[in-house]
Structure formats: structure tokens, C-alpha cells
Structure 1
Amino acid sequence: MEIKELSHKLTICKLKSIDDIDISKEFYFIGKTDEEISLVCKTEEVPENIVERDDGWKGFRIQGVLDFSLVGILSKLSGILADNGIGIFAVSTYNTDYILVKEENYSKALTALTNAGYTLV
């Protein structure tokens, strides 16, 4: 399986309102529940009206479109990273999964995954 590095630094935020989000930006993940509104975005594009933020994340995605019948992909990746002492923040889209790790663990994460047989593209 192939993984693709994301070139930008990322921030995870908690927002007061979705009105604060400029959805014209290229890279945003928005999660809204009855308890909170979360946003993952490029660090330089963090909205002004945030409740909390956590900077210093980098990410990669599983390359290609994943069929919904596939089982255990995210579990396997997160297990490899957990075995190497690396915490994650995972986000799934309709097409694929994204895994974010703290910047200081990014190289270690990529090394662990390539050692486990994943290919960087």
C-alpha cells in the first residue's frame, strides 16, 4: 500500500462557529457534533475565532480510493505507529484516510511505515 506525504504543517482547532471557516481554502477537515466543531487546516490558515488550537502536526494519506469493504487499514497503520510510541490524529474522508502525527515524530513514523512494507509516493 502507498502513502503520500502532505507537504504543509497542520493545526487542529476547536471553533465556536462554522461561520469562521473559509471553505474556499484547499485543505480543511471539518467535524461537527452536538458537542464541538473541530477543524484541521494548514497552520497559516487558522481562523481567528478559535476556542483552542494545537499546532505542530504533519500528515500523510493512504494513496488512492479505498473501498468501504476494506477492513483494518487504519487499524494496521495506527498499530504500527503505536508500537513505535507515536500518537496519531486520524481523519477519514469518503475516498481515503489521513493520519497526522506531531512534527517531532514525523520522520520516525514514515520510517516505521516503510519498514513495515508501505511505500512513500
Structure 2
Amino acid sequence: MHLKKLEQDFSVCKVEDLSKVNLDSKFCFIGKTDEERSVVCVTTDIPCNVVEREDGWKAFRIEGTNTDYILTKSDNYDRAIEVLEQAG
């Protein structure tokens, strides 16, 4: 397993709609349910129509055939990397 740390700070945001989300950003993850629309983005790329937001997230990716991205709170970031690297 090869982990790649992402240096950016991320935020999880609930938005009014997706019209102000910058889809040209390097990282942008969108979730939509019948109750809300959420965006995970680099903190400096937060859309202007945010209803709620939670800052303080970091991310890394597990590189492979299908790359997975993992978010963790900044306080737990180094520990999460350490545990996964030890687990192999």
C-alpha cells in the first residue's frame, strides 16, 4: 500500500446548491442526498453559498488501480498515516 499525503487543508461544506462549486479545483468531492448537498474542497476554494462548514480536515490517498481518498481530522492525521503504514 502506497500512501500519498495531500498538503492542502480541507473543509466539509453543506451548500445551498451546486451552482457555485468550482469544478475546476484540483480537489472537489460532491455528495447529494434528498436532504442536502455537500462538498469537500480545499479550504481556500470554499463556495460562496455555504450554509454550514467544518474546517480542520486533512487528506491522503491510497494509490493503486483504484485510488481511494481518505479524510481525517487534522488532529488525527499523523496517527492515521502511521497506523496505516504499519498495517501495510
TM-score norm. by structure 1 comes to 0.68
SS of 2:19's equivalent? helix
Larger radius of gyration: 1
In structure 1, stretches of 5+ residues that fail to align are: 67-95
Q: Aligned equivalents of 2:64 and 2:83: distance in 1?
A: 21
Higher helix share: 1
Count of paired positions: 88
Higher strand share: 2
Query: RMSD value over aligned CA atoms?
Result: 1.1
In structure 2, stretches of 5+ residues that fail to align are: none
Higher relative contact order (CA 8 A, sep 6+): 2
Shift of 1:64: 2.2
Identical amino acids, percent of aligned pairs: 49
Map 1:1-121 to 2 at 5 A.
1-66=1-66, 96-117=67-88
Q: Deviations over 1:66-90 (max 9, x none)?
A: 3xxxxxxxxxxxxxxxxxxxxxxxx
Instruction: Give runs of ≥4 in structure 1 deviating > 2 Å.
Output: none
Q: Which amino acid aligns with 2:40?
A: V
